[in-house]
Amino acid sequence: MIAGRDLTMAQIDARGDTLFERAGRPHIPALDGLRGIAVLMVMWLHFVFLSPHTGGERVFWQLSETGWIGVDLFFVLSGFLITGILYDAKGGPHYFRNFYMRRSLRIFPLYYAFLIVIFAVIPLLRASPADHLGKQVWMWTYLSNVLFARAGWEGMPAHTTHLWSLAIEEQFYLLWPLLVWLASRRRLIQLCLGSIAVAIGTRLILHFVAGNDIAAYALMPARIDALAAGGLLAVLVRDREGARLAAKYLNPVAAVSASVLILVMFWSGPVKGLSMLPTLDFPVQTFGYPALALFFAAMLGKAVAAPSGHLATRVLTSRTLMAFGKYSYALYLVHILVRDILQNQILANRGGFPVIAGSQLPAQLAIVAFGIGVSYAIAFASWHLFEKRILALKRFFPYERARVSKGVVAAEPAVSVVPGADLGSLSSSAPPRAASVALIEEGSSGR
């Protein structure tokens, strides 16, 4: 009994050590795969727009409607990566300048290019007026989530119903660096836990006081729990003992949160004839959102710690998932425009999907594949013709770390041979080491 228990603890410690060591690598391929899964879930959701008539079509639709959780996976990944970047950079010079310049180079050019296309190019081609400037302002200023909370899906300008999540992340980027800079490791852990509680409380207030469940879905204070869950994991694994503690609870947290999600699913979903996890349902927002945050954080930790030959590692590091992860930012931006064009052609001009062998599913699946394929082609071109040329400018803003020697703090460049390589751990329990900034620089840190 004791030997078995010792072996179990040894395995947990080994997983924790792996978490600690891999969190400092300049690139963890498995996280590219997680990012790929996230964007595929969101695209699947948006490219499914059939009206179900049969039992099989209804089940297919209900499952597809849960694709919105891909956004929550994006949030957890961003919280993990951004918090790790900032935590490792503490003490080095140009902490704020380098972070914001690198984030700006990654996010702004493609985002604003997309806005120019939908607000200027498309109306010009169609010879139709663009949406009123009053609505456009929310998009240009990264406040689309506020407009979304006030006006709902119907009140958003065309092709912008997905931009609310990017606004949440941008608002997080404005707030989080200062908090990480000011907080000690212990306070930062408390801050992450407190942020999860704040998000739950905010959603309760918005539900019972304001009666606005869309606001509970779209406003940053109400959705910061997923970002904070990722941030909590990032801080824990930058200390060896903290990484072992995290490793000890990965499986229990995953199991409990999955159980909560299953209960919420039966409480809110199929019983009421809705999707499996309806986004605006009270039980989903109250119990489902935090359960998703913790479940995805646990899955992220397990992905980082998984052995090289493990099935999960082989799946997450497959060329297909890693490619979708690499181009996920552009995929997220452009796929709604592709979806809107396809939906208009099929529903408005053709009256719906053709029935093949008594079902709409074959035609719907073909549209999903075609829409994802077209979106991927656009994202691929965007990366190679536009994005990576702008990202090359990051070399002028290398992350730096603090080097502590005999009480003297000096600045030294982070490992930056590879664009996005970064920093060292400032944990008091381990020497500085190269950290994983390249993770977020090459992919989509925000949706």
Task: Give tens-digit pLDDT for 16-27.
Answer: 888 888 886 767
Distance from C-alpha of 350 to C-alpha of 152, rounded to nearest angstrom: 27
**139: pLDDT strictly greater than 70:** yes
Please report which confidence band the pLDDT of residue 131 belongs to, taking 50, 70 and 90 as the band edges.
low
pLDDT at 439: 35
The pLDDT of 391-408, averaged and rounded, is 66
Listed residue (383, 365, 369) closest to 325, CA to CA = 383
End-to-end CA distance of the chain: 48
pLDDT at 405: 32
Going by the DSSP 8-state scheme, the letter that residue 421 receives in this structure is -
Please report which confidence band the pLDDT of residue 273 belongs to, taking 50, 70 and 90 as the band edges.
low
Question: Cα 399–247–177 angle (5° rounding)?
Answer: 30
The pLDDT of 93-111, averaged and rounded, is 96
Q: What distance lies between CA 293 and its chain's CA centroid? A: 11
Please report which confidence band the pLDDT of residue 271 belongs to, taking 50, 70 and 90 as the band edges.
low
The least confident of 18-22, 40-44, 177-181, 364-368 is: 18-22
Q: What is the mean pLDDT of the chain?
A: 86
Distance from C-alpha of 374 to C-alpha of 357, rounded to nearest angstrom: 26
Count CB atoms within 10 A of the CB of residue 52.
17
The pLDDT of 209-226, averaged and rounded, is 97
| Residues 51/55/61/63 CA torsion (nearest 10 deg) | 170
pTM for the model stands at: 0.88
Helix (H) or strand (E) holding 378: helix 361-382
**Which tokens is 3 given?**
């030997």
Contact status, residue 74 vs residue 35, Cβ threshold 8 Å: yes
pLDDT at 349: 67
